[in-house]
């Protein structure tokens, strides 16, 4: 297992903090950059990390895919961009592509961003009641059957490219893993749906981002599910939640309901050697100057989480 963190594509204080934590692998998200999947831009990102002592192992950003998910005209052009990304990742030796499906078109949803946590830290959470009051989304006319057919179409196109490029596709769960939301069905919300998705292509390059928080919200038995999916797990988001898929709060890594030590032991049992990063941490005192930062991605909680992960692994 390689503890890592999500970093921006250019050096800033987070790069320095990662180095001080003993991290030498990176996960990148491009935060609004245009056409970052082109070879030259991806190459410069790869070499920039290398020049600062990082191996870039995961791309956790996605080109536009809403037309692909909804089966609309223009999806083939979107899929060609994903293929371009995969081929360029292969050329540059970037191993893993973390992607999502029916988060399109809704995205990651939280209904609270300052729930009081331990020591007056601020946690984020989801309560489906608030989404049930929300207006119906314009994409609510899509059906589950159409989403499954569109997913099959997408995988038929991209899995062979990923295999040829030597890149692992790592599908992240819907977040929150509940359906429907604002009338839009979601189909990556349970262990059973993951079994069905993996069965669409029996390829070692078609696998999972095992986001423990989402699997916990699914009420999955975490260690047993890790062992079931085994070598189809390519990337891990190490976090936890208190609650279920319709109402949960993201917890500190050491106070949620999941036995985190047992989870690490399960990854060791399946001989997982890939990247594992903390995700969605509480905001701590003194981080009021980081209000612009996405909820769950402030720095100090991640420092605690990295130390906790490294300690469990050791």
Answer left, alpha or beta for residue 202, where phi above 0 means left and psi between -120 and 50 means alpha.
beta
Select which of 205, 234, 237, 253 is catalytic.
Answer: 237
Check if 259 is active-site.
Answer: no
Burial grade of 290 (CB within 10 A; 0-12, 13-18, 19 or more)? middle
Q: Which helix (H) or strand (E) holds 209?
A: strand 206-211
Select which of 211, 240, 253, 267 is catalytic.
Answer: 211
Check if 237 is active-site.
Answer: yes
Check if 97 is active-site.
Answer: no
Q: Helix, strand or coil for residue 207?
A: strand
Check if 280 is active-site.
Answer: yes
Interior angle at CA 12, CA 9 and CA 18, nearest 5: 90
Contact 200/151 with Cβ under 8 angstroms? yes
Count other C-beta atoms under 10 Å from residue 270's C-beta: 15
Contact 176/130 with Cβ under 8 angstroms? no
Select which of 61, 95, 172, 174 is catalytic.
Answer: 172
Any idea which residues carry the catalytic annotation? Answer: 172, 211, 237, 279-280, 297
């Amino acid at each position: 297992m390689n503890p890592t963190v999500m970093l921006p594509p250019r050096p800033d204080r987070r790069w320095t903090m990662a180095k001080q934590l003993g991290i030498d692998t990176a996960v990148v998200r491009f935060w609004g950059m245009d056409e970052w999947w082109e070879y030259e831009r991806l190459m410069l990102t790869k070499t920039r990390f290398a020049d600062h002592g990082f191996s870039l192992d995961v791309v956790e950003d996605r080109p536009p895919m809403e037309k692909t998910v909804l089966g609309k005209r223009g999806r083939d052009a979107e899929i060609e961009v994903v293929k371009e990304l995969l081929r360029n990742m292969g050329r540059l030796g970037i191993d893993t592509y973390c992607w999502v499906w029916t988060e399109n078109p809704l995205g990651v949803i939280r209904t609270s961003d300052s729930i009081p946590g331990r020591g007056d830290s601020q946690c984020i959470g989801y309560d489906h009641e608030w989404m049930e009051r929300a207006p119906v989304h314009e994409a609510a006319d899509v059906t589950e059957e159409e989403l499954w057919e569109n997913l099959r179409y997408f995988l038929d196109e991209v899995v062979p490219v990923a295999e040829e490029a030597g890149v692992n596709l790592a599908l992240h769960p819907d977040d929150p893993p509940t359906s429907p939301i604002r009338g839009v069905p979601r189909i990556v919300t349970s262990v059973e749906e993951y079994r069905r998705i993996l069965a669409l292509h029996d390829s070692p390059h078609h696998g999972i981002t095992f986001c423990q928080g989402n699997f916990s919200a699914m009420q999955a038995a975490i260690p047993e599910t890790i062992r079931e999916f085994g070598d189809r797990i390519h990337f891990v988001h190490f976090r936890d939640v208190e609650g279920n898929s319709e109402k949960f709060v993201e917890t500190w890594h050491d106070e949620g309901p999941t036995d985190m030590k047992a989870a690490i032991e399960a990854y060791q049992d399946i001989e997982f050697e890939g990247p594992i990063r903390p995700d969605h941490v509480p905001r701590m005192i003194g981080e009021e100057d980081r209000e612009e930062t996405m909820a769950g991605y402030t720095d100090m909680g991640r420092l605690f989480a990295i130390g906790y992960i490294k300690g469990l692994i050791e």
